[in-house]
Amino acid sequence: KQEVTQIPAALSVPEGENLVLNCSFTDSAIYNLQWFRQDPGKGLTSLLLIQSSQREQTSGRLNASLDKSSGRSTLYIAASQPGDSATYLCAVIYWSGYALNFGKGTSLLVTP
Amino acid sequence: EAQVTQNPRYLITVTGKKLTVTCSQNMNHEYMSWYRQDPGLGLRQIYYSMNVEVTDKGDVPEGYKVSRKEKRNFPLILESPSPNQTSLYFCASSLSAGSTEAFFGQGTRLTVV
């Protein structure tokens, strides 16, 4: 089974800190990897999409990297803000299919 | 505004009473899919559609049906809902299967009693 694991499951940091969320996957034959944000009672918001041929993507204070050989992706959030509090989900699409294979997420709390 | 719209947002129903959750996207996307999200299990794909009139099973299709008669709509049908289908459901779409960014609806919280 193609597993996607996110560590840590929960994280609490003070405002202003830089932080890293981790995502690991067991099969290196990935098509792409996408990071999402989920707010309570709301849908998933796409943050960044990294194609298998790319090493990283950046959007504002967010930077996502991809290392297929080690089966890892990281989401770096710079200068965290209370508004960043949410659950962050990593999802992988493998060459074997079209489904997004989700990790269980990291619940982030940024305190003022 | 580009979006995926699901209705209803919340639904409480009784076992065995047929229901439909609608999904519509305004981005002219070819690929659409349904996921369910359960505590401890995460998000799992129910069904997907590569384009009009082409649908296929995902990881957890039992108890569900879908149809794709036009590009923008992809309804999820529960012919005879059971309590184990109590879940949070999401519809998603993307320009093409796999290679492009996926957009999600706001979710439908379904409770079957």
A15-74 residue pLDDT tens: 999 999 999 999 888 889 999 999 987 889 999 999 989 999 999 999 999 999 999 999
B102 touches chain A (CB under 8 A): yes
A34, A43, A104 member nearest B42 (Cβ):
A104
pLDDT of residue A95: 79
Angstrom distances, CA of residue B37 to CA of A14, B20, B102, B109: 29, 18, 16, 10
Q: Which residues pair with B93 in a beta bridge?
A: B32, B103
Residue in B with minimal Cα distance to A5:
B42
Is B15 in CB contact (< 8 Å) with chain A? no
What is the structure's pLDDT at A96? 76
Give the pLDDT score at B2: 82
CA B80 to chain centre: 16
Check whether A80 has a pLDDT greater than 80: yes
- pLDDT at residue B1 in the model: 83
Most confident range, picked from B38-42, B53-57, B84-88: B84-88
B96 touches chain A (CB under 8 A): no
- Residues of A within 8 A of B58 (CB-CB) are 99
pLDDT reported for residue A91? 95
The pLDDT assigned to A85 comes to 97
- Contact across the interface for B101 and A34, Cβ inside 8 Å: yes
Could you tell me the pLDDT band of residue A97, with boundaries at 50, 70 and 90? Answer: confident
Q: How high is the pLDDT of residue A40?
A: 85
Query: Cβ B40–A99 below 8 Å, yes or no?
Result: no
Measure B90 CA to nearest chain A CA, in Å. 7
Rg (CA), chain A: 13
| pLDDT, averaged across chain B | 95
Cβ contact, residue pair A43, B106, below 8 Å = yes
What are φ and ψ of residue B36, in 5° steps? Answer: -120, 145
What percent of chain B has a predicted confidence (pLDDT) above 90? 90
Give every strand in the sheet of B4-7, ordered side by side.
B4-7, B19-25, B76-78, B65-66
Residue type, A73: S
Per-residue pLDDT at A20: 96
pLDDT band at A107 (very low <50, low <70, confident <90, very high): very high
What pLDDT, on a 0 to 100 scale, did the predictor assign at position B55? 94
Number of A to B CB contacts under 8 A, please give it: 54
The tokens describing A25, both together, are 């996957």
Q: Do A44 and B90 make contact, defined as CB atoms within 8 angstroms? A: yes
**Would you say residue A1 has pLDDT above 70?**
no
Check pLDDT > 80 for residue A14. yes
Q: What average pLDDT does range B68-86 have in this prediction?
A: 97
Please compute the mean of the pLDDT values over residues A3-21 and round it to a whole number. 95
Mutate to test the interface with B, among A98, A101, A107 (most CBs of B within 10 A): A98
Q: What's the whole-number mean pLDDT along residues A66-83? A: 96
